[in-house]
Each structure stands twice: as structure tokens, then as C-alpha cells.
Structure 1
Amino acid sequence: MASIARIPSVPASKHSADLRDRARGALLGLAVGDALGAPAENMKPSEIRARWGRITGYVAERPAGTDDTEYAIFSGLLLARHGSALTVAHVESAWHQWIADRDEGPFRGAGFSERGTLENLRRGLAAPISAQHRHAWSDGLAMRAAPFGVFAAGRPAEAARLVAIDGSVSHEGEGIYGGQAVAAGVAAAMTGASTATVVASALAVVPDDSWTARSLRRAVAVAHRGERAVRSAVVIGGYPWTDLAPEAVALAFGAYAAADGEFTESVLTAVNMGRDADTTAAVAGALAGAARGAGAIPVEWAAAIGPARGSCLPSMEGHHVLDVAELLIPENGEKWGAGGRVPPVPETSYGAGAPDARRDPYAFAYGVPSDADTDALGVRS
């Protein structure tokens, strides 16, 4: 693997309006892909064909994003608050405040990596030990990686650095590499780079001999032969879990390459390959949306995406991916985060005895918690 410090940046557009359109395209594309792919999750192509023929649009009565969209909003809000000053402590505190320590009963959604992470956090474990569970290689970081590419438009190495900080709470090894590939790819796509450059940017930030890199190379090498060839090149036949980061990320990039970055075909190719279809289509949609802008997304698909329902993360209810896009690429070059304005954050429910947190919701949600904060919320070991 080349040193990340030596990975060249991709020149980004100097026009903030163009960047904002690409930011909207990336995150709206993620949500659209998620909603399109959700009904086909964990299905084989033959099962998809038997039920719907070829999926060419929404097949759910009320299409909506799943955990992929809601966790992307979560990471986007966190990144907007801290920018390049993001630390592991910020991420860990946000996991506690927005997810682990909420008094809402059993955790309601998301994949195995999130469940494993929350079990560890609720036991009092901290990063990186919180990421040591049986599904640290899942695509749970890849599904929420696009905001990092949006924020670091034209800077794939910075996108990869930041997403690894986010992922250190929940993932290790191939799980981190998958997130880095997606973040770097979106960062390159945000410049309008060619499909080949987007793929090269993704490969440049992960080890050459990693499972993620090998799968990604195999997928794009056969992309010109269509979705069946892409799927055959990377899917682990007979393996029961479909959320493998190396597989899902490779399928997403393969779908994107097969369509040469065209939005509709990128997403539909990913959906119709099945497996972890909501995540693969979300990633393909983020890549294509960043490369082509929000105008490339069919109007009827975009119109169906409303504010998050909070079906997986209740704290994200009411937040829209387009609002997050605006926070990550503010108008007139204005910066959020350290030294800049503070964006809005979700409503939170605080434990008894935490009046300081109620007066200043950023004090715990984003900062390093004091002993008094952690004692009040019951998160100290």
C-alpha cells in the first residue's frame, strides 16, 4: 500500500454551487439506492427475477432509507460539527449520546457490526476494543462513509483518514478498508473525475494485498461484461452473511464501473445483484450521485426520499440527507466545525442528573465527556 500521505489530491471544483450539487447528489443518491435496494436485501438474482422480474424502480409501497441512510446522517452530522479535527473521542461520545445511552428499550435496527459495537459500549468498553467483535469486517462503515468523501471533496487521502477515525469505534481490518475505499472514491467523484480515476482513488488508500483491494480489482476488471460477471467475480458462494465489506464494496464499485458512472444503471445494477442490496446500491448511488450531481437522479426517485423515519436510529428521525449535504458543503466557502459555526444536531434524551448536557447539548454529544457527564449517564466502567 502506498503511504496515504503520498496519495495526490484530485483537483476539486472552485465553484461552491457545483460542489453543493454534487454533495446533494452523493447523499441523495445514497438514500435512493438504499430505498431501492432494501426489498432485495439478502436475495439471489434468481429470487429477484422470480418476484419482480428486473427491478427498475421502487417496489415497496412506502420506499424509505434503512440503517444505511440513518447511519450516514449520523456520521455526516458528527463530521459537520468537527471537520478535520474529528477524534476517536468525539465519535465514541456520539455513539453513546445518540445511540447506546438512550432510554428507548432494545436497539431497533442495523446490522451485526452495530449490534456488536453497542454491546461492547454498553459494557463500558472503549475504542478500539469496542470494535473487537465477530463482525468487525462488515460493510457497516462503508454504508456510512460517503459523507467523508463529500466533506473532503478532491482529497481522497483526507477522506480515508477521517473515515478510519469514525470506524475505529465499530470496525477493524477489512471493515475499515471498505469504508476508506468508499470515502476516497466519493471524494474523487466529487470532482467529476472519470470512473477509472474514482476506482484508482479507492484502491490507493487500501493495502494492495487486502481482501478489499483484491475483490475491488476483480469486480472492475469484468465490469464491462455486466452484473452477472461482477457478481461471480466477488461473491462468496454459500456464505450465509451478505454484509461482508470486501464483497459489498466490490459489488458497488463493479456496478458503478459497469454503468460507467451513469446514475440509474449504477444503482439498478447493484440492486439486481442482490446480496446486501441496500448497501451496495447506496454506495453505487453515492459514487454516481457525486460524479453526476443531483440532477442525474430521476425526479420520481428523489421525490420519494423524505426525512429519516428513525426506524433504526430514533435520534436521527426528522433529519434529511439534503440538509446534511448543505452542512458539509456550506455556501460561500463557510466552514463548520472547529473555529466555525456549529450546525444543528438531533434532539436527544438525557439521563437524570445531567442538567449541564441539557443546557449545552454539544458538551457531551461531541466533546470529551467529563467524569460528571459519564457518571450521570451511566457509561463509565
Structure 2
Amino acid sequence: MTTTTVETLALDDRITGSLVGAAVGDALGGPVEGYTPQQIVERHGGRVHGIVGPWHGDQWRTARPIAPYHKGDGHITDDTLMTHALIRVYTSVRDHLDAYSVADHLVPDLISTPRWIPELEAEALPLQRIFLAEKWIVSRLHYGHHDPREAGVGNIVNCGAAMYMAPVGLVNAAHPTAAYAEAVDIAGAHQSSYGREAAGVLAAAVAAACVPGATPTTIVDTALSVAKDGTQAAIESVAEAAARHTDFESALVPLRAAIAPFDTVGPDYRSPSLGARRPSRLHSIEELPIALGMLLVNNGDYPGTVLSSVNYGRDCDSIATMAGAIAGALHGAAAVPEGWAKQVAEASRVDLHEPAAQLSAVTREIFTRDMERRRAHEAAFALLTDAR
């Protein structure tokens, strides 16, 4: 009789793989964000296979609609800046987070502490780099003093919250339902509707990727088990389309067709439809379902999953960030090509491994607290149900 042994990667390895993998995906996708697959081919003479320069070359400072950001050459974007900011909140609170953590810790970080911003090639407040959907957090919480749990209501509904929720999945590694609940709570300060829902599902997918023996299929099944409304339907539609493909070239058009009925932005990414990014129970962000679809098409292979996401175009830096976070958690740090990680770290002037080390330490502390809280609850419940 033969016994199948499941190789279990260490928690620290999965956290590093997820966070470094997300940052590399972000940097790979940045220079081609907003374009179609065909435009990408025309600009680069074929598919993107690694780190490339800015779309407009040396004119990146003035060329619209990119200016003044240096997207390319291995620079991380706001996806990773926000991810690292959320990790700093965890390292400060050293426990599970909620919407109030955003108000008490994340907002002050964004508006008070200058940091190196790779795309600006300068030290600046993160507030000066993040987009309007993230500036909303500052406006509502710092200036408007809204209830953090409801501050996301009224914001445009996009992938803004989901793009940096991987740390929540890692803190709740192998516990997808807890990851979902925590991310939905945190994201209430940022988003509403299917944007908030996507944040919860992304966190759950990352947590599911950490389950020993996980596969792309089990990850998607877990995502479907927690997802609600249009997000669930969109993931299901994209997953069904992805199941018929094993290479991204043939999958590009079918996956876009599968997500189109749920995507409010419309066919022209840079000219959104009139109904774009409005709350709805029928719709979904595009980025998360496509990231999961590319994970299925490539059977979880990190380089294939991320490059497929990059060459999909549209909001491909966020798609590749999410795909990289999930694939990196699934396979660990070794799955992320060392050359890519090194180039991104050097170009962005950021230590990609230190945030992972910090989050690993905090995750262990939180788990210990969870166990203590669980034991206290068990003891109290035992007294309540004592038959005497």
C-alpha cells in the first residue's frame, strides 16, 4: 500500500511567497495597466515575459494618462504601498483589525509619515500617491469623522480595498471564513457593495491557499463558498470558462467574455460606462475573478499565473497583485523568480522581505491570543452547560 504525503510549507514561507509574489505581480503589471492585450502586443512586440519599461519610455513624466507616475522598470504601485501600510497597522495593533483600525492607524500613516514612492522617484506622503478611491478614506475618516464601519458608503466601487487585503488572509492562514469576516470589517472603512465583498473573498482565497494540500480548485471552491451576490456569480462564470483552457492565449477572450456581464466599467477601460463603479448586488469587480481564473488556467504556477494576469491588460497590476498573492501563498517564496524579486526590490528601493518577517511574527502572536480566547470561551461555555 502506498501513502501519499502532502508537503506542508511553513507559515513564514507562505507569508513571504504571498507578499513578495504580490509585489512582483504589481510591478510587472504596472507599465501595461489600462491597455488591451492587443495594444500590449503591439507596444512590446509580443507578450510581456518579465519586467518592462514605461509605456511612453522617457516621456513618462508628461505623457497622459500616466503622468506623473513612473510605471515600469520594476516599480511597485499603490497596490503594494497600501499592502505594506496595512502590515504596519498589524505590527502596531498586534491583533485582529477592524474598521476602527483603519481610522486610528492606517489614515495617520497615510497622511503623516513620508516614505519613498517609487513611481514618483521621491520621498512623499503616501497620500500624494494613492488614487481618489483611497483618498476617500482620509476625507471621510480624518476630515469627515464618519463612523469607520460605514465610511466606505458613497465611494466608487472598485478593487481599491481588495488589492491590499492579502495580509488579512495571511493573518488568518488556513481559516478562510475568519479571513473573510475580518476583511469585510476592515474594508467597511473604504468600500461598499461588491468592492467590499471582493476584499473579503480575496482574503479568504489567500487563507485557503495556505491550507496544507490546497490546489487552485480548492481555493476557488472556498472563494465561492464565502462569496455573495454578483461576486459569487462572476467567479463561477470565470471559473467555468477557465476550466476549458490550459494556456492563457486561448483563455484571454473567453475569460473577458465571462466577466463582462458582471463588470460595470465596460469594454473601454479608460472610458468607463455611465453606470461604472456604482453599488449593485448584481455586479462584481473584474480583477478578483480574473485572478482566480488565471490561477486555474495555469494550475497555480506562479510565473504563468502572474504573466497571464499581466497580459490580460485592463487593471492588470491589481489582477497580478491578487494572483501573485494567492499563488505565492500556495507555493511559497521559492515559486517567485528570484531575479524578478531582486529587480523589483532594487528598482523600488524597498525591502520586500521585511514586511513578510514582521507579519509572520505578528501572525503567531495573534494565533496565540486566539487560542487563549478560545480556551476561555470553552471554559465559560462548559460552566454554562454543566449538567449539575
Q: TM-score range by the shorter chain?
A: 0.7 to 0.9
More divergent stretch after superposition (30-39 vs 17-26): 17-26
Unmatched segments (≥5 aa) in structure 1: 1-12, 310-317, 341-381
Q: Report the secondary structure of 1:246's partner residue.
A: coil
Q: Which amino acid aligns with 1:50?
A: E
Residue in 2 that maps onto 1:31 = 23
Residue in 1 that maps onto 2:52 = 59
Q: Report the secondary structure of 1:304's partner residue.
A: helix
Is the counterpart of residue 229 in structure 1 residue 254 in structure 2? yes
Residue in 2 that maps onto 1:133 = 154
8 Å CA contact 1:100, 1:122 repeated in 2: no
Q: 1:308 to 1:199 in 2, by over 3 A?
A: farther
- Distance (whole Å) between structure 2 residues aligned to residue 78 and residue 111 of structure 1: 20
- Which residue of 56, 66, 88 maps to 1:77? 88
Residue in 2 that maps onto 1:370 = none
Q: 1:307 to 1:50 in 2, by over 3 A?
A: closer
Q: 1:108 to 1:274 in 2, by over 3 A?
A: same
Is the counterpart of residue 50 in structure 1 residue 89 in structure 2? no
Q: Report the secondary structure of 1:305's partner residue.
A: helix
Is the counterpart of residue 284 in structure 1 residue 320 in structure 2? no
Q: Report the secondary structure of 2:10's partner residue.
A: helix
For residues 1-381 of structure 1, the aligned pairs below 5 Å read 18-52=10-44, 53-60=46-53, 62-100=73-111, 107-126=127-146, 127-135=148-156, 137-191=157-211, 192-207=213-228, 210-223=229-242, 224-225=244-245, 226-235=251-260, 236-238=266-268, 240-241=271-272, 246-306=285-345, 320-330=351-361, 334-335=364-365
- Distance (whole Å) between structure 2 residues aligned to residue 338 and residue 293 of structure 1: 23
Q: Report the secondary structure of 1:110's partner residue.
A: coil
- Distance (whole Å) between structure 2 residues aligned to residue 89 and residue 160 of structure 1: 17
Q: Report the secondary structure of 2:137's partner residue.
A: helix
- Distance (whole Å) between structure 2 residues aligned to residue 106 and residue 92 of structure 1: 15
Q: Which amino acid aligns with 2:18?
A: A
Q: CA deviation at 1:148?
A: 1.0
- Distance (whole Å) between structure 2 residues aligned to residue 118 and residue 169 of structure 1: 10
Indicate the structure (1 or 2) with the bigger Cα radius of gyration.
2
Q: Which amino acid aligns with 2:365?
A: K
Q: Which amino acid aligns with 1:78?
A: V
Q: Which amino acid aligns with 1:237?
A: P
Q: Which amino acid aligns with 1:295?
A: A
Q: Which amino acid aligns with 1:216?
A: I
Q: 1:105 to 1:291 in 2, by over 3 A?
A: closer
Describe the superposition over 1:284-331 as per-residue Cα deviations: whole angstroms up to 9, x where unpaired. Answer: 11111111111111121111232895xxxxxxxx76342222222239
Q: Report the secondary structure of 1:330's partner residue.
A: helix
Q: Which amino acid aligns with 1:182?
A: L
Q: CA deviation at 1:108?
A: 1.7
- Distance (whole Å) between structure 1 residues aligned to residue 325 and residue 267 of structure 2: 27
Q: Report the secondary structure of 1:57's partner residue.
A: coil
Q: CA deviation at 1:134?
A: 3.7
- Distance (whole Å) between structure 2 residues aligned to residue 125 and residue 338 of structure 1: 34
Q: CA deviation at 1:107?
A: 3.6
More divergent stretch after superposition (167-176 vs 124-133): 124-133
Q: CA deviation at 1:76?
A: 1.8
Q: CA deviation at 1:263?
A: 0.5
8 Å CA contact 2:206, 2:326 repeated in 1: yes
Describe the superposition over 1:232-265 as per-residue Cα deviations: whole angstroms up to 9, x where unpaired. Answer: 2113324634996621111111111111100011
Q: Report the secondary structure of 2:345's partner residue.
A: coil
- Distance (whole Å) between structure 1 residues aligned to residue 125 and residue 165 of structure 2: 27
Q: Which amino acid aligns with 1:335?
A: E
Q: Report the secondary structure of 1:219's partner residue.
A: helix
- Distance (whole Å) between structure 1 residues aligned to residue 125 and residue 329 of structure 2: 37
Normalised TM-score (structure 1): 0.75
Describe the superposition over 1:218-244 as per-residue Cα deviations: whole angstroms up to 9, x where unpaired. Answer: 111111332221122113324634996
- Distance (whole Å) between structure 2 residues aligned to residue 152 and residue 125 of structure 1: 29
- Distance (whole Å) between structure 2 residues aligned to residue 211 and residue 297 of structure 1: 32
Q: CA deviation at 1:161?
A: 1.4
Q: CA deviation at 1:114?
A: 0.6
Q: CA deviation at 1:105?
A: 7.6
Residue in 2 that maps onto 1:365 = none
Q: CA deviation at 1:102?
A: 6.0
Unmatched segments (≥5 aa) in structure 2: 1-5, 54-71, 115-123, 246-250, 261-265, 278-283, 371-388
8 Å CA contact 2:85, 2:106 repeated in 1: no
- Distance (whole Å) between structure 2 residues aligned to residue 116 and residue 154 of structure 1: 32
Q: Which amino acid aligns with 2:29?
A: G
Q: Which amino acid aligns with 2:40?
A: I
8 Å CA contact 1:73, 1:321 repeated in 2: no
- Distance (whole Å) between structure 2 residues aligned to residue 281 and residue 170 of structure 1: 21
Q: CA deviation at 1:88?
A: 2.4
Q: Report the secondary structure of 2:128's partner residue.
A: coil
Q: 1:307 to 1:67 in 2, by over 3 A?
A: farther
Matched residues, percent identical?
A: 28
Q: CA RMSD in A?
A: 2.8
Q: 1:140 to 1:232 in 2, by over 3 A?
A: same
